[in-house]
Amino acid sequence: MAREYTLQRPTTTGASGINFAEELNDQQLAAVSSPPGPVLVIAGAGSGKTRTLTYRVAYLLDKGIEPRNILLLTFTNKAAKEMLERVRALVPRDVSEMWGGTFHSVGNRILRRHAEEIGFTKSFSIMDRDDQKSLMNTVISGCEIDTSTRRFPKPDVLISIFSLIENTGVALEDLLEERYPYFEEWREDIARVEGRYRKKKRQINSMDFDDLLVLTLRLLQQNEELRRLYQKRFQYVMVDEFQDTNQVQSELVNLLVGEHQSLMVVGDDAQSIYSWRGADMENILSFPERYPEARVYRIEKNYRSVPEILELSNAAIKANHHRFEKDLQAAREGGAMMPALVPLEDPNAQAQFVAQRILELRDEGVELEEMAVLYRAHHQSMTLQMELRNRGIPFQITSGLRFFEQAHIKDVAAFMRFVTNRRDEVSFKRMVNLLPGIGGKNADKLWRGWAATTHATSEEPPACFSDILDDLPVPGKSVSHWEQLGHTLDELVTEEGFARPSEMIFSGLEGVYDEVMRESFDNYDNRRSDLEELMNYADRFDDILECLGQLSLMSAVDGDPSGSKAELDKEQVILSSVHQAKGLEWKVVFVISLTDGMFPNGRVLDADDEYMLEEERRLFYVAITRAKDELYLTYPQINPKSYTGDVIQRPSRFLDDCPQELMEEWQVAGEW
């Protein structure tokens, strides 16, 4: 008969010495000191969410829980590093055995130990985006898909499609119908590529980032022994930003918790803004139903914003029906300026107002890096970028490349550059490389063929590009696209000379480039909006050479006060989409282009979907809660369109949710 022997918990030394009651407010303390079991912490914007999580770890360690029995899951490496550093600063003991990191890093750690269980070796490679694209090209080539008459989705787009399928569980057929209806004709071929891509990854012992989650989940679902091993180890599981979890992450957390259910999830349903990449807000809303014994704590004291901004924030989000009730309370004193509502004549006037106010605030002692301009979509910053550059105000863009440096802007500009300068080899090759079946070698041959014609060096454009291009040999799969290119170039020239710049952009877009964008970019709608904004910008020019000169100046870095030299200077205004701004804060925030169709997004309004509209409102809520001291809400009353004329804009319906007495309307006068 086996002898029974019991392991005693070792005596812990080096207790933190933290007086939790003194260092935390009552709401934080209640969450931090919660007894074992499921816990949901609804932490409002600026309420000290990270502080609550790190003190919870310290509290558990003080109670004798071993570091190895704690798992802390976050969404970014930066957040994981910050939390672990804070824990080490709070607790004077070795916490190296505590597992803390992103979902992907923890998945990698588990798979490195048990990869053989699912058909890989422990030395499996993790593919980055470029690796995925290379492998996808190999797979597509092996599938022998006929693309001679139709454009097949590029690897970048396929990667995004497959990622959404993995992380949401939605069927390919349903995903294509909802997000990529223009690829429906390729559905069977896409499904074939997906199957071979999965098989190929296993053959070459490689995983992509989605596999680090999906295969970890599959491993624990299929292997009960391993599942119980990790459930026993991780007696306390904590998850940050739980509102951003997708289906796979939520299931993985449920499996790791097991029967002990000592799970604390922290998040804010009002800041759930990532459904487009697979996040499911229902994971946090339904938590009390999935864990009936769960305690729910609300942390509502805000340490970031003045009361005037918080009152507006609370009012703005109340219009949403699918949410947890909470009411942010300011820890700071009131008396600051009320949020400003600033209607302006058009986008140019809006840009001038923001730029002038930035300069005034800097003169009042607010540093440029303490100011941010937020917008719903990247293209909405174009006019402002030009205004800041003209005034010599340095800025940093966190929502993407500077407008005129983006690939799709340069692609369309190549059509205009080549037509006006037939010796422009760079623009010619950039343009023809957009066509199916034409690579680097073919582009070289075509350029030599073009350069040999008299039209290449002529100061006058040819009467008909099509006739000349038709004489140049192209691969069979490129013929129809080559012919269309010729017709498009013909449209850029008129009997009087060149078409107007805005008309040239429109012809290039509709004739050739719209199809290129659909098959090349997973954010087609955003890029289309960018080019429509470029058309509006170009409409101010009659002379194409002047327009192209300005485009070059705006994209140049050398000598540009908003370019690389400014990036060496810490003091810069931040330009950011709201999605990129989540988790950040500034003393002064401008939220611009608050009109229906711009914020909320026009596609959301067209869809007439309540859940989509509520996510847009949460995005608005995130935007206004970034401000500490001053908040400016601006919108142009007229939006000049190059093809439809001036459009009168309706102020954003989100402003209707904000009581007038909580805002001060500014009447801006001046000549634009």
Catalytic sites, residue numbers: 49-50, 240-241, 271, 626
> What is the SS3 assignment for 304-338?
CCCHHHHHHHHHHHCCCCCCCCCCCEECCCCCCCC
The dihedral through the CA atoms of 167, 172, 177, 183 has a sign that is positive
Residue 117 CA to residue 38 CA, distance in Å, equals 31
Cβ pair 469, 476 in contact under 8 A: no
10 Å CB burial of residue 333 (0-12, 13-18, 19+) is exposed
Q: Distance from first CA to last CA of the chain, Å, rounded? A: 94
* H or E segment and range at residue 141: helix 129-143
Pairing relation of β-strands 206-207 and 125-126?
A: parallel
**394 near 569, Cβ under 8 Å?**
yes
CA 554 to chain centre: 24
Q: Let me know if 234 is exposed, middle or buried by CB neighbors in 10 A (0-12, 13-18, 19+).
A: buried
Contact 590, 350 (CB under 8 A): no
Strand 627-636, strand 586-591: pairing: parallel
Handedness of CA 154, 158, 159, 164 (dihedral sign): positive
Cβ atoms of residues 437 and 478 within 8 Å: yes
| CA nearest neighbour of 298 among 272, 317, 270 | 270
For residues 93 and 61, the answer to whether their CB atoms sit within 8 Å is yes
Sequence-ordered list of residues with C-beta below 8 angstroms from that of 220, at least 6 positions apart, any chain: 110, 226, 227, 230, 252, 255, 256
Closest CA to 269 of 657, 627, 615, 34: 615
The answer to whether residues 486 and 450 touch, using CB atoms and an 8 Å cutoff, is no
User: 409 and 403 in contact (C-beta within 8 Å)?
Assistant: yes
What is the distance between the alpha carbons of residues 262 and 258, in angstroms, rounded to a whole number? Answer: 9
Q: Is 69 exposed, middle or buried (0-12, 13-18, 19+ CB in 10 A)?
A: middle
How far apart CA 628 and CA 620 sit, in angstroms, is 16
Q: How many CB atoms lie within 10 A of CB 452?
A: 9
The 3-state DSSP class for residue 363 equals helix
Q: What amino acid occupies position 352? A: Q
Q: How far apart are CA 227 and CA 188, in angstroms?
A: 36
